[in-house]
Amino acid sequence: MGLFSRWRKEERTAVQARPTEPSPSDALSEPPRPRPEDGRPVSAPLTDAERSRISRGLEELAARGVDIDDLAAIGAAYDRAHADAAAGRGDAAEVVELFGVAIGEHLVRRSTRGWSVVTDAFGTDLGLVDARADTVVVPHNLVSARWMRGETGWIPGVVQHLVGLCPRAGA
C-alpha cells in the first residue's frame, strides 16, 4: 500500500463530466465503488481504537521532544532512532509506528488529507485520504519501506513533497 490513485483515469473523467443537476439516472452513472481486491483502496472513518493509537503515538513523540510541525525535527529524531536500533538499542516496529504517526499527523496539519482506515489488496492500516487529489497515503508504509532499506535523511524532502501535492490553505 502507499500512494495510490483510487479511480482509473476514465472513471475520473466520467465523474468530472457529470452534469451539475441531479438526474434520476445519477445512481447508474456513478463509477464503481473501489474494491480492495482490485488493488483500489477503500477508506473508512477512524474508530475509537485508531484515534487512541494516533493519540498514544503523539504523546510518545511529545515525550521524546519531537515537534510534529517541524519536518527537520521529525527527520532528525527518526535518524537517531534508526541509528539506535541499528546499534541494538531500539525496536524497529516501535520506530515505524511512531514515525508513521508523526508523518501522518504532519500531513493532516499541513495538507488537505485526513486520517482514515484504508484497506487495499495488501491489508488494512491507518492512512490519509484526500478526495480532491484522488490519492491515499499510508505513512507507516513510507517509513517501513525506507527502514528496511536503511535510508535516513529522507523525511523532510519526501513529506514536504507530499504536502506540496495537496497543501492546506494558509498552512
How much is the pLDDT for 152? 97
Radius of gyration of the chain (CA): 18
pLDDT band at 9 (very low <50, low <70, confident <90, very high): very low
pLDDT band at 37 (very low <50, low <70, confident <90, very high): low
Q: Give the sheet arrangement for strand 114-120, strand by strand.
A: 4-5, 135-137, 123-130, 114-120, 42-44
User: Is the separation of the CB atoms in 82 and 95 below 8 Å?
Assistant: yes
The pTM of the full predicted model, rounded to 2 decimals, is 0.78
User: What percent of the chain clears pLDDT 90, i.e. is strictly above it?
Assistant: 66
pLDDT band at 33 (very low <50, low <70, confident <90, very high): low
Q: Which fold has domain 4-33+41-164?
A: Four Helix Bundle (Hemerythrin (Met), subunit A) (1.20.120)
How much is the pLDDT for 98? 97
Q: What are phi and psi of 127, to 5 degrees?
A: -150, 175
How much is the pLDDT for 41? 85
How much is the pLDDT for 121? 81
Question: Can you read off the three cell numbers belonging to residue 115?
Answer: 486520517
> Which run of H or of E encompasses 126?
strand 123-130
Mean local confidence (pLDDT), 43-64: 97
Q: Please count the other Cβ atoms lying within 10 Å of the Cβ belonging to residue 112.
A: 19
Residue 65 has pLDDT above 60, yes or no: yes
Residue 82 has pLDDT above 60, yes or no: yes
- Segments making up each domain of the chain, as ranges: 4-33+41-164
User: Is the separation of the CB atoms in 35 and 7 below 8 Å?
Assistant: no
Give dist(CA 117, CA 16) in Å, integer.
Answer: 26
For all residues of the chain together, what is the average pLDDT? 83
Residue 2 has pLDDT above 50, yes or no: no
